[in-house]
Amino acid sequence: MSDSAEERAQALVGKTLGEGYRLEALIGQGAMGAVYRATSAKGAEVAVKTLSAEVMGPQTTQRFLRESELVRGLKHPHVVRTLDSGADRVTGLLFLVMPLLNGRDLDRVIEELGALEPETAVRVTLQAARGLTAAHRIGIIHRDVKPGNLILDEEEGEIVVRVCDFGIAKQMGGQSELTATGSQLGTPDYVSPEQLKSSKHVDERTDVWSLGATLYQMLCGAAPYSHIDAVFDVITAIMTEDPPSVQARAPWIEAPLALVVHKALQRDPNQRWATLEDMADALRPFSGGDELLEPARIVAATNARKRTTAERADLRQAPAATSLPPAPRTQMAKELEVTSTVGSSAHERRVDRNNAGGSGKGAMLAVAVLSAAIAGGSAYYFTRGSGAAPITAPAAATVSATVAVIPPAATVSTPQGPIPVVNGSATLRGRPGETVTITVEHEGTKKTFAVSLGSDGIASPSRLVLTP
């Protein structure tokens, strides 16, 4: 980073962008943008990420603005919200406005702790899968899932995993893409083989691969292909070689868990988990009973655990040993046909999974990332992929809001009747400002919640936790 770039970023402090976002302090900076602590016109503390229109170019800028609604419509407890976005008329900067979170990204956690306790790693993965599944169900594929894009946010004494940075997202079944084809395909260590071949022709299984690679790293402390230094060699290996066994790096990992991980990392997408719902179903037996994350659970694998050696898995069994039938219909998949987690019926069907290519050699990846890896500060988190001129939506007669249900096997009901729970999420509908009485029940334990439905489609509380 040049001094002039740092000076330009620092020079924006004190200025106001868009509709009244005053930049208070520079939090972090990269080659293509910067993140600031800011104050909105209403006095709320927010995080503002700026992207240089000059770097992005006119075509990408227009695409960035045009497609902002795609990601702005994604409202889920396990996704970092984009509050606003647009292009500043004075500076020409594109900007995104996000909540100012109290947490740090998973990349920093792994850097500090190394391999995590297996139950912790599984719980982080289950929560991330909820957020990504919500995106998949409205037709959005993330395509850049990695530890740096999973935020461990602290909320009321609990750690909540939130997915951020949908900057290279792709809309399934449409022409919408938030990056220029062939130039920005994600972080190489976590990119699926089919995405390396063609970032256009991928489906949700590319996120299965990436989340599987992230889980692999949480379990053993290293990314699947971290033993290879050169970027081009990493790309070649991803497309032509299976990753080393996670048990070779973490001998204490149980064989059945290793099989779940390596099924996610099959180079042929048809051998992989078909959806993140299926992967989550397979992981739940290794969560220790639920997926709650208290701060005390974010710990490294203990020395006692590291001294154990589990039975070695036969990875040749990974595609078959944990396979589900073709076009699997788990209980969550059946419920998927009834209700939409985020209110879009157009994508309640399963996506045709025959468009993505399998393993094999492909062209070199151009690793030009849409926005910089921002350094410094842990009180902010941002997304790459949403942005447009601020839009004021007409008031809605009814709103839909998603709540996370823990444990995901619990039943949810209102005085009017039951509400389907899909992948641990339930959709509530009512008038803006209405308070809905929700009863959550599981194995003889019952709890009632008063949930307020915001006009912006956000429920409060957004997580219904039933403790034994």
Q: Give catalytic residues, as residue numbers.
A: 144
Q: Which residues pair with 85 in a beta bridge?
A: 96
Answer whether 85's CB lies under 8 Å from 72's CB: yes
Can you read off the two tokens belonging to residue 63? 């695409």
Q: What distances in angstroms separate CA 134 from CA 75, 255, 310, 354, one per listed residue?
A: 8, 30, 35, 22
CA distance 221 to 111: 8
Cβ-based burial of 300 (10 A; exposed 0-12, middle 13-18, buried ≥19): middle
CA distance 37 to 100: 8
Answer whether 299's CB lies under 8 Å from 124's CB: no
Cβ-based burial of 28 (10 A; exposed 0-12, middle 13-18, buried ≥19): buried
Cβ-based burial of 22 (10 A; exposed 0-12, middle 13-18, buried ≥19): middle
Q: Radius of gyration of the chain from Cα atoms?
A: 21
CA distance 167 to 177: 9
Q: Which of 100, 122, 80, 89 is nearest to 40 (CA)?
A: 100
Q: Which amino acid is at 288?
A: G
